[in-house]
């Protein structure tokens, strides 16, 4: 029972990380109509930039706080140099150009930080366990990810639902030409949303770094999962992205944690341990296919 | 036929096809074996690119999972070969049928969606097969599997590099022939019409979904053919042959060459491989050691192609009549 609880918490933690990534993606698609494959590169850049700033400041928190504005600026640069030219283009051009960006960033990282992976240590004050329930310890760092992730999710929900900028974002998602015609500076709004998405992606990358590893292409696989999430949730819907991220997080972790034992009842031990991660990955895509067959625009997507 | 040779496009295309037809003789004469292996891969990738072009270029359906057919074709051959079924007469039809059935299945599900949803669902199905491939412990999981080449006793020995190359070349010619028949048929015109305006085609009474499904399925069959050849080329299968980056490469090739043109995918493949092989050397000439980082140039090049070169290489060869 405790084991199940811990694994479900791990699922929540993974889900929140993927939500941070998916939120930026779903905003850029919902508002600017941009398919940004390079969003995963911003996730990777977040981790690498944080590695550098952490080694400068010798403190995880300081390094992370220093890295976020840098990633924001990086997001603005990518928006101004490439992304802005793509908003009015069709999806194919966007896929192609941002695919080029991925190649560029992967290689840039190799030039700057070298081909070998880096690791970021778990900060000392979080390198222990907390008791989430009496007698049930849980790694403090993972718990911190859940807290930060949930805080950012709430902040985002507040930003979108309650503030003026959020109002513009929602208006932009439903009709961007109209809000432009009403005198809103949509170019500034687009830059801001792109930068915000970059910060969320970078934050996810740097928080994931101590529990995974910092390596070239780390953003590519998780990017596809993030796309799956926004497609399941319905493109442009923050709420959909959140729910889908939670579901995908649970499928992934619980699948990894429980499938091997289940499979061992009728497969050999080694076959079970190599098949289980594959099956839990496959499950995610089956869920997505099922949702799209049932609702071709996702759970909370706009019907056309 | 002869009249076509009078235009620059026709002449260049004829020269390229001629050069490809005699490539093994050239590489033998100049003792450049490595070039033949690049040539073989160019021909195989061209088949896949032509098959993707049928739905992407003519149909406007951005499938981001076409490399899955490399995997299906390849794994069908590899798995049969691992179980001792080495005859190509069994392997190849099984692989083609597998690719066709899979294309029909994912086509039936994916074509219900539009736009980004279509891009992502095709990608997701490809990833699904990719992870299944990585989970097949018996067939090497992520490491892949060395296989023996398909046998056609008495007919052709695929271990001979030149014979294998010519087989691939014949397959490419067959694919191009089929694609030209497809593009200029009533069926092809329905697909092309639906690209410009599927609502209108529906209003005219065409069952657009069914037409697209057939096109998607045929495209999968030829993709499977490329997969069979790719597995035989390296005598090796692995999930990497169907990673999403390969699907991205195929889209790049089709757009680079010129979407919705018969020979565009062929130009695109040649340009892609030439860039991949020569950029490192060019950069190394500028400064020693830079060649390793050729993708830092290649990435922005793709962005420029996407932004400014809509018609691809085909449009450089003059306007279409």
- Is the separation of the CB atoms in B302 and B249 below 8 Å? no
Confidence check: pLDDT of B282 > 90: no
pLDDT at B76: 95
List chain B residues with CB under 8 Å of A89.
306-307
d(CA B305, CA A232): 31
B33 exposure class (CB count in 10 Å sphere: 0-12, 13-18, 19+): exposed
Q: Does B305 fall in a domain?
A: no
pLDDT at B58: 94
- Determine how many CB atoms are found less than 10 A away from the CB of residue B192: 16
Q: Does B31 fall in a domain?
A: no
Q: Does B310 fall in a domain?
A: no
Chain segment B29-68, per-residue pLDDT in tens: 888 888 899 999 999 999 999 999 999 999 999 999 999 9
Q: Which of residues 278-297 of B touch A (CB under 8 A)?
A: 292-296
Q: Is B300 on the interface with A (CB under 8 A)?
A: yes
Question: What interface predicted TM-score (ipTM) does this complex get?
Answer: 0.83
Give, in words, the CATH class of A9-129+136-294. mainly alpha
Q: Could you give the C-alpha distances from B100 to A283, B81, B212, in angstroms and in order?
A: 23, 20, 14
3-state helix, strand, coil in chain B (%, to 5): 75, 0, 20
Chain segment B227-236, per-residue pLDDT in tens: 999 999 989 9
Q: Could you give the C-alpha distances from B102 to A240, B110, B133, in angstroms and in order?
A: 30, 12, 15
What proportion of chain B, given as a percentage, has pLDDT over 70?
Answer: 98
The contacts found for B206-210 with CB under 8 angstroms, 24 or more apart, are: B209/B111, B209/B112
Confidence check: pLDDT of B139 > 60: yes
Residues 6+ apart with CB under 8 A from B213: B104, B107, B108, B111
Residue B277: its H or E element: helix B264-286
d(CA A102, CA A105): 5
Packing angle, helices A91-113 and B115-135, rounded to 10: 50
The reply to whether residue A274 touches residue B138, judged by beta carbons under 8 angstroms, is no
pLDDT at B250: 95
List chain B residues with CB under 8 Å of A228.
120, 124
d(CA A197, CA A45): 13
pLDDT at A283: 86
pLDDT at A67: 95
Confidence check: pLDDT of B283 > 90: no
Residue A131's SS3 state is strand
d(CA B164, CA B24): 10
**Residue carrying the six token digits 């061992």:** A264
Confidence check: pLDDT of A287 > 70: yes
Nearest CA in chain A to B293: A107
Query: How many Cβ pairs within 8 Å bridge chains A and B?
Result: 143
Here the tokens at position A287 are 């869920």
Confidence check: pLDDT of A275 > 80: no
The reply to whether residue A107 touches residue B296, judged by beta carbons under 8 angstroms, is yes
pLDDT at B2: 66
- Is the separation of the CB atoms in B132 and A292 below 8 Å? no
Q: Rounded to 5 degrees, what angle do the CA atoms A42, A44, A48 make?
A: 110
Helices marked H in chain A: 2-32, 39-57, 60-81, 91-113, 140-162, 164-174, 176-181, 186-208, 218-233, 238-264, 269-294
pLDDT at A303: 58
Residue A133's SS3 state is strand
- Is the separation of the CB atoms in A273 and A260 below 8 Å? yes
Closest CA to A8 of A226, A252, A205, A229: A252
Full residue range of the structural domain in which residue B63 is found: 36-243
pLDDT at A147: 93
Residue predicted with more confidence, B107 or A263: B107
pLDDT at A1: 66
Residue predicted with more confidence, B120 or B47: B47
The reply to whether residue B117 touches residue A93, judged by beta carbons under 8 angstroms, is no
Confidence check: pLDDT of A65 > 70: yes
- Is the separation of the CB atoms in B254 and B56 below 8 Å? yes
Domain count, chain B: 1
Closest CA to A289 of B124, B244, B133: B124
Per residue in A239-249, is it b (16+ CB within 10 Å) or e — as a string?
A: ebbbbbbbbbb
The reply to whether residue B117 touches residue A298, judged by beta carbons under 8 angstroms, is yes
Confidence of residue A47 (pLDDT cuts 50, 70, 90): very high
Q: Is B75 on the interface with A (CB under 8 A)?
A: no
Q: Does B292 fall in a domain?
A: no
- Is the separation of the CB atoms in A123 and A64 below 8 Å? no
Confidence check: pLDDT of A255 > 60: yes
* Phi, psi (degrees; rounded to nearest 5) at A28: -65, -35
Mean pLDDT is highest, among B155-159, B193-197, B219-223, for: B219-223
For chain A, what are the domain ranges?
9-129+136-294
The reply to whether residue B137 touches residue A270, judged by beta carbons under 8 angstroms, is yes
pLDDT at A132: 77
Q: What is the mean pLDDT of chain B?
A: 90
Q: Does B7 fall in a domain?
A: no
* Nearest chain A CA: its distance from B301 CA (Å): 7
**Residue carrying the six token digits 């896929």:** A95
Packing angle, helices B8-21 and B33-56, rounded to 10: 130
d(CA B115, CA B65): 14
pLDDT at A304: 52
- DSSP character string of B20-37: HHTHHHHHHHTT-HHHHH
For an interface test with B, which of A107, A113, A220, A263 has the most B Cβ atoms less than 10 Å from its Cβ? A107
Chain segment A216-234, per-residue pLDDT in tens: 888 888 888 898 899 899 8
Q: Does B175 fall in a domain?
A: yes
Chain segment A146-194, per-residue pLDDT in tens: 999 999 999 988 988 889 988 888 887 778 788 888 888 888 888 999 9
- Is the separation of the CB atoms in A29 and A206 below 8 Å? no
Of B56, B123, B293, the CB nearest to A224: B123
For an interface test with A, which of B137, B251, B291, B301 has the most A Cβ atoms less than 10 Å from its Cβ? B137
Q: Does B272 fall in a domain?
A: no
Residue A129's SS3 state is strand
Residue B243's SS3 state is coil
Chain segment A72-118, per-residue pLDDT in tens: 999 999 999 999 899 888 888 898 899 999 989 999 999 999 888 88
What proportion of chain A, given as a percentage, has pLDDT over 90?
Answer: 36
- Is the separation of the CB atoms in A41 and A198 below 8 Å? no
Closest CA to A14 of A286, A232, A229: A229
Residue predicted with more confidence, B295 or B233: B233
Residues 6+ apart with CB under 8 A from A33: A87, A176
pTM value is 0.89
Q: Is B125 on the interface with A (CB under 8 A)?
A: yes
Helices marked H in A58-185: 60-81, 91-113, 140-162, 164-174, 176-181
Nearest CA in chain A to B140: A274
Q: Does B248 fall in a domain?
A: no
Of A89, A96, A106, the CB nearest to B295: A106
């Amino acid at each position: 029972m405790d084991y199940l609880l811990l694994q479900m918490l791990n699922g929540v933690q993974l889900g929140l990380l993927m939500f941070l990534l998916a939120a930026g993606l779903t905003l850029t698609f919902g508002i600017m109509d941009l398919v940004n494959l390079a969003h995963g590169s911003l996730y990777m850049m977040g981790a690498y930039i944080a590695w550098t700033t952490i080694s400068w400041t010798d403190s995880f928190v300081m390094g992370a706080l220093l890295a976020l504005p840098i990633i924001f600026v990086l997001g603005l640069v990518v928006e101004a140099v490439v992304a802005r030219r793509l908003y009015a283009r069709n999806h194919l051009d966007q896929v192609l150009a941002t695919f080029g960006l991925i190649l560029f960033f992967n290689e840039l990282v190799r030039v700057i930080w070298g081909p070998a992976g880096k690791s970021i240590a778990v900060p000392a004050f979080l390198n222990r366990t907390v008791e989430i329930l009496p007698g049930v310890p849980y790694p403090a760092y993972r718990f911190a990810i859940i807290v930060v992730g949930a805080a950012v999710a709430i902040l985002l929900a507040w930003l979108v639902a309650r503030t003026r900028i959020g109002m513009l974002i929602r208006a932009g998602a439903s009709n961007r030409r109209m809000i432009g015609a009403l005198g809103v500076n949509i170019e500034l709004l687009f830059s801001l949303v792109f930068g915000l998405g970059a910060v969320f992606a970078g934050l996810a990358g740097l928080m994931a770094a101590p529990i995974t590893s910092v390596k070239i292409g780390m953003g590519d696989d998780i990017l596809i999962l993030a796309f799956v999430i926004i497609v399941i949730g319905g493109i442009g819907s923050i709420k959909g992205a959140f729910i889908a991220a939670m579901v995908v997080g649970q499928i992934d972790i619980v699948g990894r944690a429980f499938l091997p034992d289940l499979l061992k009842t009728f497969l050999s031990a080694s076959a079970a341990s190599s098949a289980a991660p594959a099956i839990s990955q496959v499950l995610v895509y089956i869920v997505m296919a099922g949702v799209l067959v049932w609702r071709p625009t996702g759970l909370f997507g706009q019907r056309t | 036929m002869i009249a076509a040779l009078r235009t620059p496009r026709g002449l260049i295309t004829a020269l390229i096809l001629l050069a490809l037809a005699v490539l093994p003789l050239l590489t033998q004469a100049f003792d450049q074996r490595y070039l033949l292996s690049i040539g073989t891969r160019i021909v195989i990738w061209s088949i896949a690119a032509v098959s993707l072009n049928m739905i992407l270029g003519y149909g406007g359906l951005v499938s981001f999972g076409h490399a899955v057919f490399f995997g299906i074709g390849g794994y069908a051959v590899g798995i049969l070969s691992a179980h001792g079924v080495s005859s190509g007469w069994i392997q190849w039809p099984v692989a083609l049928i597998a690719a066709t059935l899979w294309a029909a299945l994912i086509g039936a599900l994916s074509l219900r969606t539009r736009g980004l949803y279509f891009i992502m669902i095709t990608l997701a199905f490809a990833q699904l097969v990719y992870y299944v491939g990585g989970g097949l412990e018996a067939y090497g999981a992520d490491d892949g599997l060395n296989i023996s080449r398909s046998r056609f006793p008495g007919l052709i020995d695929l271990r001979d590099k030149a014979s294998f190359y010519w087989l691939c070349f014949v397959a490419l010619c067959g694919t191009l022939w089929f694609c030209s028949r497809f593009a200029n048929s009533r069926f092809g015109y329905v697909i092309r019409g639906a690209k410009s305006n599927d609502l209108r085609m529906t209003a005219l009474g065409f069952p657009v979904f069914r037409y697209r499904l057939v096109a998607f399925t045929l495209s999968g069959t030829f993709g499977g053919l490329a997969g069979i050849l790719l597995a035989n080329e390296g005598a090796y299968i692995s999930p990497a042959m169907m990673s999403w980056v390969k699907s991205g490469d195929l889209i790049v090739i089709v757009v680079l060459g010129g979407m919705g043109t018969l020979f565009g995918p062929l130009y695109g493949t040649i340009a892609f491989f030439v860039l991949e092989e020569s950029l490192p050397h060019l950069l190394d000439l500028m400064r020693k050691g830079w060649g390793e980082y050729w993708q830092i140039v290649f990435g922005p090049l793709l962005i420029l192609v996407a932004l400014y070169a809509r018609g691809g290489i085909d449009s450089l060869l003059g306007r279409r009549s």
